Amino acid sequence: MIDASLLAAILARLSTALARPSVACLPLLVEGYAAGWLTPERAARLSRFSDVFTVGERAIELVHTLGSEHARTAALDAVVRSLATEGLLTQWRNEAYAVAPAFGGPVLFQIERAAARFFGIVTYAAHVNGLVGRDDDHSMWLARRSPDKSIDPGQLDNLVGGGIRAGTSVAETVRREAWEEAGIAASVAARARPVGAVQLCREQPDGLQREVIFVHDVRLADNFTPNGVDGEAVDHRLVTFAEAAALIAHVEGPLQTTADASLVILDCLIRHGAIHADSPHYLPLVALRVSSLEMGSSA
């Protein structure tokens, strides 16, 4: 079991890293649905795109003439490209995210991934814990992100993780990312077991991160060594559960783990019984795994 002082450090670090937004945000309304949330500063930047948005004191609305997914997507694409040229977005990914009232539901519009946080849309990702060992002797593989990544460069990360692109499924994302980031064959990735989901809702320098991460566990052979093919991971390390717990307590430095991955690791530790249920930190740590994605007065 992980000792109380380390649990306290994990709770302190993640409570801060995953803190909900403190700034009052404005909803981006599409057909009455809050498709995104923007800080007042970002909302004000949209007022010049009057052919796309109506910006009010309490909300931003897509103009009603944009009545289809295709029309909204095209209009927003022009806006997003303009914002990108001003340096207001993260690195352009050339990947589209689908925005819908519910995962897998009718799509309201698609938007470039780099603009997801600017507009505060709900995004979806799939992460995989690469586990080695059995019973009470668990270890997990972690990856180190490339220093060239625009988000969390050089930090430790889950072995496999990636955003779910428009038109693709959770399983497809797992297979793609498993091969690209760790060299895991499709036949092995197919054994990745869905074990739940975690949620984040926090303010970041590039906007709001409102994300659902579908979590998976996959058992890997003792002699398996990860070998990414896309350059997004620069090295890998195999750590025990106790070592993983120590890593997610790091606030800064070369051993810092991304907040997203830390939450997935915490979830894994809880599910596999590495944190004693009698600990006074147990329930607060459990609660961290699912932050409400709602904003405004209903949050």
Q: Which pLDDT tens digit goes with each residue over 85-129?
A: 999 999 999 999 999 999 999 999 999 999 999 999 999 999 999
- List, in sequence order, the alpha helices (H) in 33-68: 40-45
Percent of the chain with pLDDT over 70: 99
Burial 7-40 (b: 16+ CB within 10 A, else e): bebbbebbeebbeebeeebbbbbbeeebbbbbbe
- State how many domains the chain has: 2
Instruction: Please work out, in degrees rounded to the nearest 5, the angle formed at the alpha carbon of residue 292 by the alpha carbons of 141 and 30.
Output: 110
Going by DSSP bridges, is the β-strand pair 122-132/207-219 parallel, antiparallel, or unpaired?
A: parallel
- Residues 100 and 157 placed together within one structural domain of the fold: no
- Residues 91 and 103 placed together within one structural domain of the fold: yes
The continuous run of DSSP H or E covering 117 comes out as: helix 116-119
CATH number for the domain that contains residue 73: 3.30.750.160
- Residues 116 and 127 placed together within one structural domain of the fold: no
> Cα separation of 86 and 280, whole Å?
48
Which pLDDT score is estimated for 294?
A: 93
- pTM here? 0.96
What is the mean predicted confidence (pLDDT) over 259-285? 97
- Residues 51 and 148 placed together within one structural domain of the fold: no
Q: Which pLDDT tens digit goes with each residue over 258-267?
A: 999 999 999 9
- Residues 45 and 137 placed together within one structural domain of the fold: no
- Residues 151 and 162 placed together within one structural domain of the fold: yes
- Residues 16 and 102 placed together within one structural domain of the fold: no
- Residues 269 and 183 placed together within one structural domain of the fold: yes
Nearest Cα to Cα of residue 125 among 81, 177, 85: 177
Q: Which of 121, 140, 166 is the last residue before a domain boundary?
A: 121
- Residues 139 and 236 placed together within one structural domain of the fold: yes
Q: Which of 74, 102, 121 is the last residue before a domain boundary?
A: 121
Q: Which of 76, 103, 121 is the last residue before a domain boundary?
A: 121
- State how far the alpha carbon of 61 is from the alpha carbons of 75, 223, 243, in Å: 13, 54, 48
Range of the domain at 98: 26-121
What is the mean predicted confidence (pLDDT) over 277-290? 97
Residue 36 CA, chain-centre distance (Å), reads: 16
Q: Which pLDDT tens digit goes with each residue over 210-238?
A: 999 999 999 999 999 999 888 889 999 99
- Residues 81 and 128 placed together within one structural domain of the fold: no
- Residues 233 and 265 placed together within one structural domain of the fold: yes
Which pLDDT score is estimated for 273?
A: 94
- Residues 66 and 42 placed together within one structural domain of the fold: yes
Which pLDDT score is estimated for 298?
A: 46
CATH number for the domain that contains residue 15: 3.90.79.10
- Amino acid symbol at 63: V
